[in-house]
Amino acid sequence: MASRKTPGKKDLHPNMGIGSILAVLLMNLTIYPFLILWTLGTMAVFPAAFLVWKAGTRWTNERIVRFFIWIYGRGWIAILSPFVRFGRKGFEAVKPLQPVILVVNHSSFFDTYCMALLPFHNVAFAIRSWPFRMYWYTPFMRLANYLNVEGLRWETASRLAREILGRGGNILFFPEGHRSRDGSLGRFYSGAFLLAMETGRPVVPMVISGTDTLLPPNRWWLKPARISLEALPPVDPKFFSGPGAHIDLKKTVKEAIHNRLMEIRSVSCKSL
């Protein structure tokens, strides 16, 4: 896999124009306070909003919470939009297939919030243990039935995931398990692909690009960026068989994501 130098390892470049430096400073002085206010505000109104939504719909509790998490993420996107251009494509073929198993590359803390770019909200995240230690988010993740794949035995995680899919929810995995430090795809864990083989649900590879410019690992300040979330053609697990079927499925999905990332970066380099 090709790699590249992480932009987070550099501070503001001395050759940046004064306009670019002012844009970065303005972005950071405004975005962070608004994100904090948005978070506190949504938490404050959530109990009343939940009760109203519960009374007005027949949705399950977990679906209602996932909807409000999606709305919360849309708020992050709106707050960032003066400095960040967002795009989405390729989801026309995904909607009729739901529920599906979504897998996406991971290069920034902001990747999870950018999942609000999805055109549907009923998504449970399968994530590692550390986000559950963000105590201000933990109750919402538990109410939404997010899966702590690091803290559960596979048998338990698989059973819970099958139940979510059975109720019409989608499952989203960051198969690398952590953010990429050098821009290359890391090793994929097998959970999403084992689940696909067990349930027969399609795997939808997704590519997110631009968040490593916005906020890569090892950097705290934000930078204007273009962010895109793209769904690649779904992969049906029925075409894979044998004892290593989930491995072959994993390789196919990883190759599709890698190839698309390389195409995006090639176009970006040519436009510089």
pLDDT at position 194 is: 97
What is the distance between the alpha carbons of residues 268 and 227, in angstroms, rounded to a whole number? 12
d(CA 50, CA 44): 11
pLDDT of residue 267: 74
Residue 22: C-alpha distances to residues 34, 115, 211, 213, 218 (Å): 18, 29, 20, 17, 22
Cβ–Cβ < 8 Å for 193, 213: no
- CA distance linking residue 166 with residue 170, whole number of Å: 9
pLDDT at 15: 52
**Dmax (CA) of the chain:** 59
Handedness of CA 241, 244, 248, 250 (dihedral sign): positive
Domain ranges in the chain are 13-271
Instruction: Record the pTM.
Output: 0.90
Measured in degrees and rounded to the nearest 5, phi and psi for residue 89 equal -160, 165
- 223's CB contacts (< 8 A; 6+ apart) are 7, 24, 27, 213, 214, 215
**Under a CB-based contact definition with an 8 Å cutoff, are residues 209 and 219 in contact?**
no
Residues in the chain: 272
Cα separation, 185 vs 197, whole angstroms: 23
The pLDDT of residue 68 is 98
The pLDDT, as a whole number, for residue 8 is 39
Pairing state of beta strands 170-173 and 101-104?
parallel
pLDDT digit string (tens) for the chain, length 272 residues: 444 443 434 445 545 678 778 889 999 999 999 999 999 999 999 999 999 999 999 899 999 999 999 999 999 999 999 999 999 999 999 989 999 999 999 999 999 999 999 999 999 999 888 888 888 899 999 999 999 988 889 999 999 999 999 999 999 999 998 888 777 899 999 999 999 999 999 999 999 999 999 999 888 899 999 999 999 999 999 999 998 999 999 999 999 999 999 999 887 655 55
- From the CB of residue 43, how many other CB atoms can be counted at a distance below 10 Å? 14
Q: CA distances (Å), 226 to each of 9, 70, 88, 105, 123, in order? A: 20, 20, 11, 16, 24
Which of 127, 159, 130, 129 minimizes the C-alpha distance to 146? 127
Helix (H, G, I), strand (E, B) or coil at 84: strand
pLDDT at residue number 1: 42
